[in-house]
Amino acid sequence: MPTAKQRAASRANSQKSTGPRTTAGKAASRFNALKHGIHAQQQIMFNESADDLAELAAEYHELHAPADAGECFLVDTMINNEWRLRRLRAVEADLWRAAHNLALEKLPEGETADFGDAFTSSGPAFERLERIVNSCERHYRNALKELQVARAHGLRTPQPEEPTTTSASPASFRTKPETAETAVSSSPITAPQHPKLVPPTAAEIAQKLMACMGATPILVT
C-alpha cells in the first residue's frame, strides 16, 4: 500500500503532465481514463455516446488526478453516478412524454393535457425516479467526501513525536544501595571510647572499710 508521501509525489507528478498536444492525441487520450474501471461498452445504452463518457472520465481524472487504486475507485464512482444522473434527466423527459400521452387517453377527445394531468397519471413513476436520483447524488457526495478525506490525510504534515519519559532502569536503582555499601565499607567502624577502669588496691579497700566502721584509718607505709 503506498504511503502518504508516495501518493503526494504521484499526484504532484500527474499535475506536471501536459498531456497530448495534437488533435488526434487528445481524441485518443480521452479513452485512457476508461481503463481505470469505467468501460464504455458496459455503460453506453440507446443513443448515448461513448465519446461523451470518455470525455467525462478524462475531465474527472484530470481534475482529481487519482494517485492510487483507492482514489481511482472513488473518482470512477463519481463518474459513474454523474453519467447515471445525465441518463436520468433523459429518462425524466421520456417519462413526461409518456405520462402526457397517458393523460390524453383518459381525457375526452379534443381536450389537452397539462403537466398536472401528466403527473397525476404517472405519479408513482416520478416518485421512483426521484428516489434513484437521490441515491446517485448521495453516492456521488460520499465518494467526493471520502476522496477529500483521503487527500487531507495524505497531505497532513506528520507531527514530531514527543519524547517519552522512560523510567529508570533496574540498574539505576541498584546504584544507590551499592554506593551506600561502598561508602560504609570504605570508612572503618570504630567502637565508642569509654574511660579505662583501674581496679583499687588492697590498701584503698581497707581504708574504705575502716571508714565505714568509724575506726581511725591506719596508714600503711
Report field, pTM of the whole predicted structure over 0.75: no
User: Which three cell numbers, joined as nine digits, stand for 162?
Assistant: 514527543
CA nearest to 98, candidates 116, 122, 120, 115: 122
What are 141-152's pLDDT values in tens digits? 999 999 999 988
Average pLDDT for 105-112: 83
How far from 121 is each of 115, 158, 191, CA to CA, in Å? Answer: 10, 60, 119
The angle formed by the CA atoms of residues 10, 14 and 18, to the nearest 5 degrees, is 160
3-state secondary structure of 28: helix
What are 156-196's pLDDT values in tens digits? 544 555 665 555 555 554 555 555 455 545 555 665 665 66
